[in-house]
Structure formats: structure tokens, C-alpha cells
Amino acid sequence: MSSTKYILGLFDDPDVMMHGIDKLQKNSVPIYDVYTPMPIHGIEAKLGIKDSRLGYAAFMFGCLGGTTILSMVYYFLGYDWPMNIGGKIHFALPDYIPVTFEWSVLFASFGMAFTFFYSTHLFPGRAPRVMDLRATNDRFVIAIDAKGSTPHEDITNILKEAGAVEIKHNDRKYVSYE
């Protein structure tokens, strides 16, 4: 066995790359991942990736935010120290709608964003696990785990046929720094 760990097919056009994915899948070559400089629509379906559930998270966080602030306000102004403010009733609900809305939005967006960071393992200082440095620039990269049963030359050929501009046999999983 060679020391190749991953085979990368580098495309310069997203449409061609999508075509390449089809080809690989037809040949039952398992695709490890695809790295692109921009989102490619329709690729999830092709790779069988389930819909994101971040929306539900956002909704739940939003509900939490609204409830939190409204209970806080009730505690502050209705329970802990009710006061006569301009002759208004202690729990003047219409007045509290703006803050309730704001905190719903705040919790929803922060909750969701941080869930996203958490689930995608993004955080400041995380070592970037990059297989090819041009994947964030102008190359659309299909990564194939070299450990699979298909001979490496076949994969290379399929990629070549599919129109890959360059094919790399990487000995390391990540070319980036630690």
C-alpha cells in the first residue's frame, strides 16, 4: 500500500465538480467530503446530508428569551418591589412587549449561532483542518478516503474523466498547520 491517505480531486467549476460526484457515486467510490469556496446548492441532497435542525434550536431559544425577560419583569416590577410609576398598574404588560421581543430575538440568534459553532466545531483558535489550501479560493475539492477498496488509479481516472484539473494523493489528512 502506498502512504496515500486521501485522494483529492480539484475542480475549477462547480458544475463539473457536481458531475464528478455523480461519476464517483456511480462507481461506488465513497466520498469523504467536499470542500468549496462557496456554498453549492443541491450538493447536500447528492451526498445524502440531512436538513439542518438549527431552525428548531432558534425557535426554542427565542421562546426561552421571551419567557426569561417577561418573568424577570414580573419579578422586578410586579413582585419584588411594586411601585407607583406615573399612576400605571404594576404589571403594565403592553409596556413590556418591546423588551420581550428584543430578548426573544437576542436569545434566538445567539442560541442558534452558538449551536452552529458548537455543532460545526468552530471556535476561535481552532486549528483549521484544510485538505487543500485553494479550497477556500478557487478550487472545488472532492476528498476521497484512500483506505477504501477501490484502487487509487481508478479513482484518479474517474476524477480525470470527470474533468478535475488536478488530482492529489495526500499523505497527510490535513495540509494545514496544527
Partner 1 sequence: MDSNKKYWKGLEELNKTPEFVEKNKHEFAEPIPIEDVLSGDGLLGKTPRRDFLKAVGFGVGAVTLAACQKVPVHKSIPYLIKPEEVTPGVANYYSSTYEGHAILVKTREGRPIKVEGNPNDLLAKGGLSAQAQSSVLDLYDVSRVQAPLVNGEGKAWNEVDDYVKLELAKIQDSGKKIAIISSSISSPSTLAVIADFITAHPTAKHIMYDAVSYTGIIQANQNSFGKAVLPHYNFDKADVIVSFGADFLSTWISGEEFTRQYVSNRNNKSLQSKKMSRHIQFETGMSLTGTNADVRIPLKPSEEGVALINLYNAITGTTLPGTKKLADNAANNAITIAAKELAAAKGKALVVAGSNDVATQTLVNAINAALGSYGTTIDLDNNSNQYKGNDADLAAFIGDAKKGDIAAVLFLDANPVYDYYNTKEITEALAKVPLKISFNTSLDETAALATVVAPNHHYLESWGDDSAIAGYYTVMQPTINPVYNTRQAEESLLIWSSSATKTYYDYVRNNWDKNILAMGGLSGQKGWETLLQTGFVHVAAKTAGAYSFSKDLNAVAQTILTQSTSLVAGDKAYELHLYQSSAIRDGKHANNPWLQELPDPVSKVTWDNFAAMSLTDLKALNLQEGDVITIDANGTSIALPVLLQPGQAEGTISVAVGYGRAKGGAVIESGIGKNAYPLYSFRNGTVQGSAVAKISATGDQIILAQTQTHHSYEGRNVIRDASFTEYKKNPYVNSGKDGEHKDYKSLWENYDRPTYNWVMAIDLNACTGCGACVVACNAENNVPVVGRDEVRRRREMHWIRIDRYYTFNDEQGKGVTEEHEIDKLKNINNVSVVHQPMLCQHCDHAPCETVCPVLATVHSSEGLNHMAYNRCVGTRYCANNCPFKVRRFNWFNYWNDSRFENYLAEQHTQLVLNPDVVTRFRGVMEKCSMCIQRIQAGKLQAKMEKRPVKDGDIKVACQQTCSANAIVFGNGNDPESEVSKALRSERTYYVLEELNVQPGIGYQVKVRNTNELEA
Partner 2 sequence: MASHKESIIREPLVTGKGITYAKVTDDILAPVENKPNRAWWIGFTFASLGACLWVFAVSWTFWYGIGSWGLNKTVGWAWDITGFVWWVGIGHAGTLISAVLLLFRQKWRNSINRSAEAMTIFAVICAATYVVSHMGRPWMALYCLPLPNQYGSLWVNFNSPLIWDVFAISTYFSVSLVFWYTGLLPDIATIRDRGTGWYRRIYSVLSFGWTGSVKTWQRFETVSLILAGISTPLVLSVHTIVSMDFATSLEPGWHTTIFPPYFVAGAIFSGFAMVQTLLLVTRKVLGLENYITMFHIESMNKIILVTGSVVGVAYITEFFIAYYSGGEYEQYTFLNRFIGPYWWAACMMYGCNVLMTQVMWFKRVRTNIAMSWVLSIIVNIGMWFERFVIIVTSLHRDYIPSSWAMFYPTWVDVSVFIGSIGVFFTLFLLFIRVLPSIAMAEVKLLLKDQSEEYKLKQIAEGHLDPEQVEFYKNSLKKFDSVDISVYENA
Q: Which is nearer to partner 2, 58 or 146 (CB)?
A: 58
For 25-61, the three-class secondary structure string (H helix, E strand, C coil) is HHCCCCCCEEECCCCCCCHHHHHCCCCCCHHHHHHHH
Number of other CB atoms surrounding residue 173 within 10 Å: 14
Task: Assess 86 for contact with partner 1 (CB under 8 A).
Answer: yes
Q: Which of 13, 55, 75, 89 binds partner 1 (CB under 8 A)?
A: 89
The site for partner 1, by CB under 8 A, has a size of 7
Instruction: Tell me the closest approach of the beta carbon of residue 145 to partner 2, in angstroms.
Output: 14
Pick from 169, 177, 167: nearest CA to 145: 169
52, three cell numbers: 439542518
> How far is it, in rounded angstroms, from Cα 5 to Cα 113?
33
Choose one: 2-10, 45-53, 154-162, 163-171; the region binding partner 2 (CB under 8 A): 45-53
Instruction: Tell me the closest approach of the beta carbon of residue 73 to partner 1, in angstroms.
Output: 13
CA-angle at 145, arms to 142 and 151, nearest 5°: 100
9, three cell numbers: 480531486
Choose one: 42-50, 80-88, 112-120, 130-138; the region binding partner 1 (CB under 8 A): 80-88
Q: Which is nearer to partner 2, 56 or 157 (CB)?
A: 56
Task: Assess 93 for contact with partner 1 (CB under 8 A).
Answer: no
The two beta strands, 140-145 and 166-170, are: unpaired
Choose one: 13-21, 31-39, 82-90, 127-135; the region binding partner 1 (CB under 8 A): 82-90
Residue with cell 431559544: 61
Choose one: 22-30, 118-126, 149-157, 161-169; the region binding partner 2 (CB under 8 A): 118-126
> How far is it, in rounded angstroms, from Cα 1 to Cα 154?
15
Task: Assess 86 for contact with partner 2 (CB under 8 A).
Answer: yes
Evaluate whether 131 touches 174 at the Cβ level (below 8 Å).
yes
Q: Which of 47, 63, 71, 172 binds partner 2 (CB under 8 A)?
A: 47
Tell me which residues touch partner 1 (CB under 8 A): 83-89
